[in-house]
Amino acid sequence: MIFESIMKGHMKGKKFIPTGKSSTKGVSSDTIGYNVKLKMKEKIRDPKRVVLKNGRHAIAGVGSDGTKMFKFVKA
């Protein structure tokens, strides 16, 4: 998936390639995370288990206001 919104300035002409792997295995649909923008805990919509570039495991998804949310979990 290419995000045109980040294709400005120094990113012009480069493709956005997500790093790490993602899966929904072992992730419940009622995962709770902290939304920094709203300063409150809430449900993570569309949770997916991801591995970040540095090797850490996390659950990534979207908050109620559309912001990205991450919750770090054990491997």
**pTM of the full structure:** 0.62
Residues 31-64: tens digit of each pLDDT: 999 999 999 999 999 999 999 999 999 999 999 9
Domain ranges of the chain: 21-72
Angle at 22 between CA 20 and CA 28, to 5 degrees: 145
Q: How far is CA 24 from its chain centroid?
A: 12
